[in-house]
């Protein structure tokens, strides 16, 4: 669906885009008003999947696919916040993903660092919607600079209380089972 919107917007130019945006947001508000009447879930989790398939389909490099995936995520999170959902969890990066080509892993790490840093900016969705950010996973698998960025954003958003965004990075069930057993033994 996003691709259709994109290609329409390419054709209508900037002024058309503004019109299209406000039309979409008007429709969205109407739909959300209707949806919010019924009880809605408190917690939604998203699994980021298909970025590479998307890139292949549109003849893009893999890292571009991940970037588009991130944009789609931010869009959907914004909708969740507008709907009043309090908890969102994103499965972003599993330990198994580290087995991919080194260039792709590095590109993913760079993207993560850039986007996590971006969350701390004044105009980011984190500040717009009062989001507290958590990271779940074995963070020692991340590159140092990414780990530092995660720690900074956790501290920077610690006092936000409207919504909670948990980002799962460097997770995998086997690693979690081992960690859990070790901790239980301790
Ligand atoms: C980043 O982390 C990956 C996977 O842990 C590793 O292969 C890579 O060498 C690291 N890159 C840097 C610049 O530290
Ligand atoms: C969060 O609140 C604590 C206690 O009121 C304060 O010390 C800290 O500086 C605040 N952090 C931010 C990022 O505003």
pLDDT at 41: 83
Q: Side by side, which strands form the sheet with 87-94?
A: 43-47, 87-94, 163-171, 131-136
* Whether residue 49 lies in the annotated active site: yes
pLDDT at 7: 43
Q: What is the pLDDT of residues 22-73, one digit of tens each?
A: 767 777 788 878 877 778 888 999 998 889 999 999 999 888 999 999 999 9
pLDDT at 63: 86
Instruction: Determine the distance separating the centroid of ligand 1 and the alpha carbon of 91, expressed in angstroms.
Output: 20
Q: What is the pLDDT of residues 102-123, one digit of tens each?
A: 998 999 999 999 999 999 888 8
Catalytic residue chosen out of the listed positions 49, 96, 175, 186: 49
What b/e sequence results for 12-33 when a residue is b if at least 16 CB atoms lie within 10 Å of its CB, and e otherwise?
A: eeeeeeeeeeeeeeeeeeeeee
d(CA 7, CA 13): 10
Nearest CA to ligand 2 atom 11: 159
Instruction: Determine the distance separating the centroid of ligand 1 and the alpha carbon of 142, expressed in angstroms.
Output: 7
Which of 126, 151, 158, 160 maximizes ligand 2 atoms within 8 Å of its Cβ, making it the mutation to test the pocket?
A: 158
pTM assigned to the model: 0.79
pLDDT above 60: residue 19: yes
Q: Which of 16-20, 101-105, 135-139 has the lowest mean pLDDT?
A: 16-20
Query: How much is the mean pLDDT over the chain?
Result: 86
pLDDT at 6: 44
Mean pLDDT, range 152-165, rounded to an integer? 94
CATH topology of domain 2-185: Undecaprenyl pyrophosphate synthetase (3.40.1180)
């Amino acid at each position: 669906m996003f691709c259709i919107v994109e290609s329409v917007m390419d054709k209508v130019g900037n002024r058309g885009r503004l019109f299209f945006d406000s039309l979409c947001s008007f429709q969205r508000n109407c739909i959300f008003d209707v949806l919010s009447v019924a009880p809605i879930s408190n917690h939604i989790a998203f699994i980021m999947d298909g970025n590479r398939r998307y890139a292949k389909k549109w003849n893009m490099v893999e890292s571009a696919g991940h970037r588009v995936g991130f944009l789609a995520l931010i869009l959907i999170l914004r909708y969740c916040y507008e709907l009043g959902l309090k908890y969102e969890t994103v499965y972003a990066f599993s330990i198994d993903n580290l087995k991919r080509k080194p260039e792709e892993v590095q590109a993913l790490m760079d993207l993560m660092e850039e986007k996590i840093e971006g969350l701390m900016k004044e105009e980011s969705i984190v500040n717009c919607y009062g989001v507290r950010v958590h990271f779940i996973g074995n963070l020692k698998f991340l590159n140092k600079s990414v780990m530092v960025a995660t720690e900074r954003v956790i501290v920077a958003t610690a006092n936000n209380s409207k919504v909670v965004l948990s980002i799962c990075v460097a997770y995998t069930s086997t690693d979690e089972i081992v960690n859990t057993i070790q901790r239980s033994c301790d």
